[in-house]
Amino acid sequence: MFLGAFTPKFFEQVPIGQADEGVRCRLCPHRCALRGGAAGICGVRSGEGGGSLPFYGRVSSIAVDPIEKKPLFHYRPGESILSVGFSGCNLHCPFCQNWRISQTTETAGSFVSPEELVAKALALGLEQIAYTYSEPLVHAEYLIDCMTLARSHGIANVLVTNGCVNGEAAGEIIPLADAANIDLKCFSSRTYRKVLGGSLSAVKDFIKASAANIHTELTTLVVPGFNDSVEEIDLCVDFIASVSCEIPWHISACHPAYKVKTPPTKAETILGIKKRAGKKLLYRYTGNIKDDDNDTVCLNCGYVLIRRNGYVVKTPGLAKKIENDGKYRCRRCGAVLPVKY
Ligand code: SF4
Ligand code: SF4
C-alpha cells in the first residue's frame, strides 16, 4: 500500500442503523456501498477510514507518447505527451485492450507524487500530461492534485477516459482538463449496463459537459457482433452530431483481447463506418487499420492541413494565429480550423 497526501472527495457517510450503513462512494453511477472498509467495483476506492484511495499515486506505467496515440488529432498535432497509467476500472469491457491493468489492482507499480509527475514533465520539456491506459477517473483525488499542480506550471492536462462518472465528479475534473478523448462504446443503455457495467446516460452527460468546456474527441472501438450494426452506428453518429458535427470521431478496429476471441475487425467494416459517418460528422479517423486517408483536410479549399503517416505527423497547411486572435487557419484559404494548441 502506498500512502499519499490523500484528501477524500467523493465519499459520503451513511448513518449507522440504516440498512447500508457505512461509507458510500458517489464518484460513479455504481454508487458502491463500501461496508467494513471494502473496495468498490473498480477495486480502487475503499471505505476504510471513512473513504480512501489506497492506490493514491500508484502508477502502473509512465511513458512519452505521440499525442496522436491517445488518440487526439486536433489538439497540439505532432507533439509528445507524458502519459501516466494506473490500475483498476469501474467498467469491465470484455474487449478491454488494457485488461491486465484495468481489471486488477494487483499490478506492479511505484508511487509517483503529483510533484514528481509534474517535475518529470518539466525535465523532459513536455507541455502536456495524459491520464490514460486504464481508467483514470476512479483515481479522481490524485488526478485533481496532479492537474491542479500541472496547470500552475503551464502544463496542459489530457483525459483519456470512459467518461462514466457522476455529474459532481465531472464538474470538478473537466474544468482542470484542457482536452479529452472519451470512449463512446455503443449506444445501448442495456448493453452498457449488462455487458460493460456502466451507464450510457452518464457517458452522454460527460461527453456533453466535456464538449461544452474543453477540446473533445471521441473513440469507438468497433467489436464484431457487439456494436457494428448499422442501427447502432447510426445512433452513435446521430448523438455525436447532436453535440457537435466538429467533434473528431476515431473509429478503431478491435483485436482479440481479454474475453473477446473473435478475429480482428475487418478494415472494410471500419472504412464503411467512416464513410457512412461522413454524412453527419466533419472529421472521422480510423485506428488500428491501414488507412492512407487519415489526413486532416481544409473543408473549405481541400488543402492538406495535417498529414499523418502512422505517428509521423506534419502540419503543412496550418497557419498559426495569422489574425492574431489565437485561432488557427488554413495556410492557403485562411478558413478557421478546429485545431487547438
Ligand atoms: S468509483 Fe469505484 S467505488 Fe466509486 S462508485 Fe464507482 S465503482 Fe464504486
Ligand atoms: S472502460 Fe476502458 S479500461 Fe475500463 S474495462 Fe473498458 S476498455 Fe478497459
**Nearest of 110, 98, 168 to residue 136 by alpha carbon:** 98
Separation of 313 CA from ligand 2 center, angstroms? 28
Separation of 192 CA from ligand 2 center, angstroms? 12
Separation of 89 CA from ligand 2 center, angstroms? 6
Segment 282-312, tens digit of pLDDT: 999 999 999 999 999 999 999 999 999 989 9
Any ligand 2 atom below 6 A from CB of 134: yes
Separation of 213 CA from ligand 2 center, angstroms? 24
Q: How far does CA 309 lie from the centroid of its chain?
A: 23
Which residue from 35, 86, 138, 164 has its CB within 8 A of the most atoms of ligand 1, so it is best to mutate?
138
Tell the CATH topology of 58-294: TIM Barrel (3.20.20)
pLDDT of residue 324: 65
Q: How far does CA 33 lie from the centroid of its chain?
A: 26
Q: Are 252 and 213 in contact (CB under 8 A)?
A: no
pLDDT of residue 323: 61
pLDDT of residue 320: 67
Q: Are 200 and 184 in contact (CB under 8 A)?
A: no
Residue limits of CATH 3.20.20.70 in the chain: 58-294
Atom 3 (ligand 2) nearest CA: 134
Any ligand 2 atom below 6 A from CB of 219: no
Kindly tell me if the per-residue pLDDT of 16 is higher than 70. Answer: no
- Count CB neighbours of 76 within 10 A: 20
**Nearest of 126, 124, 175 to residue 154 by alpha carbon:** 126
Segment 193-225, tens digit of pLDDT: 999 999 999 999 999 999 999 999 999 999 999
pLDDT of residue 5: 64
pLDDT of residue 24: 94
Which position has the higher pLDDT, 35 or 201?
201
Per this entry, what is the length of the chain?
341
Instruction: Kindly give, in sequence order, each residue whose CB lies less than 8 Å from that of residue 119, ignoring residues fewer than 6 positions away.
Output: none
- Count CB neighbours of 199 within 10 A: 22
Any ligand 1 atom below 6 A from CB of 138: yes
Q: Are 180 and 144 in contact (CB under 8 A)?
A: no
Q: Are 82 and 124 in contact (CB under 8 A)?
A: yes
